[in-house]
Structure 1
Amino acid sequence: MNEAIAVAISARIAAIRLPVPGARYTLPQPLAWRLFKAGENESAQQGTTEKVVTLIDGLDTDTRYRLTIEGFSDFHFHTRTCAGMVNATYFGLVAGADLNDLAKAKDNADKFKAALAYVPSGGTLYLGPGLWTTLPLALRSDMTLHLAEGAVLRAPSLRDGWPILPARDDAGNMLGSWEGLPEACFAAPVHAIGAQNLTIEGMGILDGSGNAGDWWTWPKETRDGARRPRGLHLAGCKDVTLLGFTIRNAPSWTVHPQGCDRLKAVGLHIQAPHDSPNTDGFDPEGCTDVLVEGVRFSVGDDCIAIKAGKRGSGGEADHLAETRNVQIRHCLMERGHGGVVIGSEMSGGVHDVTVEDCDMIGTDRGLRLKTRRGRGGAITNITMRRVMMDGVLVPLSANAHYFCDADGHADWVQSRQPAPVAEGTPQIDGILVEDVDVYDLALAAGVFLGLPEMPIRNIRIRRLRIHSNDPNATTAPPIMADGVRDMRHQGILCEHAEVDCDDQKLLSPDPISLPNLLAAS
């Protein structure tokens, strides 16, 4: 019999993994389940599930349950306690406020603040069904925000009156940020600073209204002295659980944990239109011990972008922090520029990232590492196994000549001649890919472009199976670096990179000669 595994248990929701062999995001076939309270023979709930990570809502707090599932041993779990629940609507919230009505949005924000003040330590702020428009909401430690099914918590379309986070707090720590550097930014519609033991959960929706205002018309600019807000921003938080809800239409990055420790994101649905600018799905930056499991992505940029800050143009590095131990399992990435991306803001170092049992459908890239001279830092110990990619342009890539920033095309960044190894020289060491299935390959199975002074080391590829090529694919450069030729239906190519592949047919016979293959004719 299979054994179910608890992924996250809150006071009212349980996320259970059903590890059927070969299953990634969805199960091979739906499974029926029944839920019993301990000592009772009549089921409290029953249903069917099609997902490996299954969520059960509407549980009683501090209660022991028994879950029966076809083909699995009985699974027992105990929900967490709750010190008290406060219904936010009792404080006079106005439902359905117009997105342009800032007065009502501010009034709702004041009422949310009053409701939060009543939530006891270890308690819950409950938001029931309805459409609730409010200016940004700041959460605190030792609480749960529960979004009931049918609840939509959304931001107004106008930015007047929005709070702005400064680049640094009073202690000098990075607070507001933009692409890895301290900068003032508008506060996210839901945010928390320095919170501990925080849970955001439920079957409801967080809507950043990025599609309703002008946020998406100035993706790289500053307005009113600040950068665009995220959809959900967590700065300096510890022991945070994000469970079950949908988050959509973020003004910029959708979920941005920054400097957080021990974070779980489980069973979420992260959405943005395909043409919305820089609406990454989930961007942990300077974080440790992060779990992303059972999450469905459909966004306008990278689905998951793992970051560790960017060294300043003058070498500034006091804001940098490493990202370490990121586990990504049983996720569905339906669209985006990349499935799992590391960098290019990686100056603090990104280490120990594992991607397992995921589906990537229609993403431009699958596993993508990107950096450039000037970044410094290291990317080490990256593992991907048991992943299916369908309609992905380039399943695997690592690029140390990524042409980002204003000087990205400068000769010192793009030159293939060795440069002195210095503090700003980035390193990539240790990429393991196992049991990856690729369908409708477009450009190349893998492209690894390292620095001549710091080659990419220890790339191992095992059982990479190319099942089909996309017959409608058109030639294009497979990575964003100068001097790279257009490709179509290529295997694995590398320049200044050490690749050990178990299928020699996928390897160019002489990697040293690959600059000639990569260079534009």
Structure 2
Amino acid sequence: MRRYSTLVYVLLLLAFFSSAPWSVQGSSQCKQINSGEIRPHSVTITEFGAVGDGVTLNTKAFQNAIFYLNSFADKGGAKLFVPAGRWLTGSFDLISHLTLWLDKDAVILGSTNSGDWPVVDPLPSYGRGRELPGGRHRSLIYGQNLTDVVITGDNGTIDGQGSIWWNWFRSKTLDYTRPHLVELMNSTGVVISNLTFLNSPFWTIHPVYCSHVIIQNVTILAPLDSPNTDGIDPDSSEDICIENCYISTGDDLIAIKSGWDEYGVFFGRPSRNITIHKLTGHNLFGSGIAIGSEMSGGVSEVHAENIYFFNSSTAIIIKTAPGRGGYVRNIYISDVTLSSVDTAIRFNSNFSEHPDDHYNRSALPIIERITVKDVRGDNIKVAGLLEGIEGDSFLSVCILNVTLKVTSESPWNCSYVQGYSDSVSPKLCKALEERPPDVSDCYKYNLSNYFWNSRIRKRNSWLHSW
């Protein structure tokens, strides 16, 4: 009966994901048609000696199971089933054409021994570890150069046990940058769904140099005072769908990135074609949706809608600085509800931490064509802090249909920004008071016009099985 119910659940999941190439339908919900079949080969982690007592280290069991399943990559792929239990492990690699499936009461626990998280090279678009010069600890679940990878289950849990890392960070005793909970590099056809992620040592889910990624129906939690525990950070990646997620962490809930200063400019891989739909969450530090501050490779074609943030610091922010270079353009955020948020909209142009002293101080970012519309909020301290860069104004900023109940006597503060507004309360600052000659100009870069261009539509469908 158990195997039958699991089969039915998987078939329902397959029916839910619509088709590749992906499309944006209706209110920008990303769907994917999956014409693959259920993974024909499946093993359970206990078959490789794993013990789910929360004490036994199972790194070798995960590594050996995945090594064994690699022989089925060209035979329809395989599934690694993690049953109920607490499965302590260090970092392990995924493979192509793999489903990692966690049962309802399964918990993968990250080891609290830093030696179980190997040190790897820094990302080329960063030039060094994000926190410290040199390398960085590899994520708990890791993969690179993969195709068709699924991390899912019946709402099982992946717990990074990050408190020891946070303590090392606060005491400044780290030798290398902290690890993420999940990081996939140079990979395509990735699905992460129906799981809970807890207590990441650093950023939680980090697709970097990836394409065609769905992150759907996930919960991400970390204490509100945990340092830099971002929820989802698409980084120099394209064609990303983030949908139906709840995130409560110690930093940005979603942060879109594309490399750091001269390293990001040289690497030159932007983040683009990103949909965020039905996102709920809160934090005490950081932001709900952030772009940057590492955005030197460029960020464009981002569409976020149906957003709810509460008891939070900042709702929407673009973070950059002189020396970043790059660009942020064609950003469209709509249908946002806020409750008890310190700052609703912010452009921070002085986020000036740099990887080293070799960045080009004349590399000014281009920020243009940013629309925020249909926003309502109660108990908001400041409506907007919109600060561009002197000699490098942020252009074509559209603020439309925004109604905020603000407690500050100075609800808006604007400098070095140009653009338009319509139906904004409280009254917007003078630089953005003008109504656009044609309001449709503020809608032209709605992602539905950009998201799946002819090049994407002509690609062969990528297949993945469960």
Please give the TM-score of this superposition, normalised by the length of structure 2. 0.80
Distance 2:232 2:41 in 1: 31
1:133 aligned residue (84, 88, 91): 88
In 2, are the aligned partners of 1:308 and 1:348 still within 8 Å (CA)?
A: yes
In 2, are the aligned partners of 1:286 and 1:322 still within 8 Å (CA)?
A: yes
Give the aligned partner of residue 383 of structure 1.
Answer: 332
Distance 2:281 2:184 in 1: 22
Work out whether 1:452 is the aligned partner of 2:452: no
Give the aligned partner of residue 23 of structure 2.
Answer: none
Q: Deviations over 1:221-246 (max 9, x none)?
A: 5734x211011111111110001101
Give the aligned partner of residue 83 of structure 1.
Answer: 40
Matches within 5 A, 1:31-180: 80-98=37-55, 104-105=56-57, 108-119=58-69, 120-121=72-73, 122-167=77-122, 178-179=129-130
2:403 aligned residue (448, 462, 465): 465
1:356 aligned residue (278, 301, 305): 305
In 2, are the aligned partners of 1:216 and 1:277 still within 8 Å (CA)?
A: no
Look up the SS of the partner of 1:141 in the other structure.
coil
Q: Residues 400 and 299 of structure 1: is their aligned pair in 2 closer, same or farther, counting only changes over 3 Å?
A: same
In 2, are the aligned partners of 1:382 and 1:430 still within 8 Å (CA)?
A: yes
Distance 1:447 1:220 in 2: 33
Give the aligned partner of residue 159 of structure 2.
Answer: 207
Q: Deviations over 1:224-281 (max 9, x none)?
A: 4x21101111111111000110111011111111111111100000111000000011
Question: Which runs of no fewer than 5 residues in structure 2 stay unpaired?
Answer: 1-8, 18-26, 434-466
2:194 aligned residue (244, 253, 261): 244
By how many angstroms is 1:111 displaced? 1.4
Distance 2:432 2:420 in 1: 11
Q: Residues 140 and 177 of structure 1: is their aligned pair in 2 closer, same or farther, counting only changes over 3 Å?
A: farther
1:499 aligned residue (406, 419, 429): 419
Q: Residues 507 and 150 of structure 1: is their aligned pair in 2 closer, same or farther, counting only changes over 3 Å?
A: same
Q: Deviations over 1:359-391 (max 9, x none)?
A: 111221111001110111110011111110111
By how many angstroms is 1:167 displaced? 2.4
In 2, are the aligned partners of 1:96 and 1:131 still within 8 Å (CA)?
A: yes
Give the aligned partner of residue 314 of structure 2.
Answer: 365
Distance 1:183 1:445 in 2: 40
Give the aligned partner of residue 70 of structure 1.
Answer: none
By how many angstroms is 1:214 displaced? 3.9
By how many angstroms is 1:460 displaced? 0.8
In 2, are the aligned partners of 1:233 and 1:255 still within 8 Å (CA)?
A: yes
Q: Residues 229 and 298 of structure 1: is their aligned pair in 2 closer, same or farther, counting only changes over 3 Å?
A: same
By how many angstroms is 1:123 displaced? 1.2
Q: Percent identity?
A: 27
By how many angstroms is 1:404 displaced? 3.5
By how many angstroms is 1:441 displaced? 0.8
By how many angstroms is 1:11 displaced? 5.6
In 1, are the aligned partners of 2:287 and 2:314 still within 8 Å (CA)?
A: yes
Distance 1:297 1:360 in 2: 10
Look up the SS of the partner of 1:441 in the other structure.
strand
Larger radius of gyration: 1
Q: Residues 499 and 376 of structure 1: is their aligned pair in 2 closer, same or farther, counting only changes over 3 Å?
A: same
1:439 aligned residue (350, 370, 378): 378
2:228 aligned residue (257, 266, 278): 278
RMSD: 3.2
Give the aligned partner of residue 291 of structure 1.
Answer: 241
By how many angstroms is 1:92 displaced? 1.5
Distance 1:147 1:333 in 2: 24
By how many angstroms is 1:339 displaced? 0.6
Q: Residues 285 and 10 of structure 1: is their aligned pair in 2 closer, same or farther, counting only changes over 3 Å?
A: farther
By how many angstroms is 1:137 displaced? 1.5
Paired residue type of 1:446:
G
Distance 2:221 2:47 in 1: 30
Paired residue type of 1:322:
P
Distance 1:227 1:326 in 2: 27
By how many angstroms is 1:115 displaced? 1.3
Distance 1:84 1:132 in 2: 22
Q: Deviations over 1:78-129 (max 9, x none)?
A: 884212111111221112233xxxxx42xx1111122112322221111000
Distance 1:181 1:323 in 2: 24
In 1, are the aligned partners of 2:314 and 2:341 still within 8 Å (CA)?
A: yes
In 2, are the aligned partners of 1:261 and 1:288 still within 8 Å (CA)?
A: yes
Paired residue type of 1:84:
H
Distance 1:428 1:164 in 2: 35
Distance 2:366 2:145 in 1: 31
By how many angstroms is 1:407 displaced? 9.7
In 2, are the aligned partners of 1:308 and 1:350 still within 8 Å (CA)?
A: yes
2:289 aligned residue (328, 340, 359): 340
Look up the SS of the partner of 2:114 in the other structure.
coil
Give the aligned partner of residue 145 of structure 2.
Answer: 194
Q: Residues 465 and 358 of structure 1: is their aligned pair in 2 closer, same or farther, counting only changes over 3 Å?
A: same
In 1, are the aligned partners of 2:279 and 2:306 still within 8 Å (CA)?
A: yes
In 2, are the aligned partners of 1:11 and 1:80 still within 8 Å (CA)?
A: no
Higher relative contact order (CA 8 A, sep 6+): 2
- Which of 192-201 and 488-497 deviates more? 488-497
Give the aligned partner of residue 276 of structure 2.
Answer: 328
Paired residue type of 2:272:
R
By how many angstroms is 1:403 displaced? 4.2
- Which of 81-90 and 269-278 deviates more? 81-90
By how many angstroms is 1:216 displaced? 3.8
Distance 1:503 1:268 in 2: 35
In 2, are the aligned partners of 1:346 and 1:377 still within 8 Å (CA)?
A: yes
Paired residue type of 1:428:
I
Distance 1:439 1:330 in 2: 19
Paired residue type of 2:330:
N
Look up the SS of the partner of 2:386 in the other structure.
strand
Distance 1:423 1:462 in 2: 33
Q: Deviations over 1:51-83 (max 9, x none)?
A: x99xxxxxxxxxxxxxxxxxxxxxx99884212
Question: Which runs of no fewer than 5 residues in structure 1 stay unpaired?
Answer: 1-8, 18-23, 25-51, 54-75, 99-103, 414-420, 471-487, 513-521
Aligned length: 406
Distance 1:221 1:406 in 2: 18
| Greater helix proportion | 2
Paired residue type of 1:200:
I
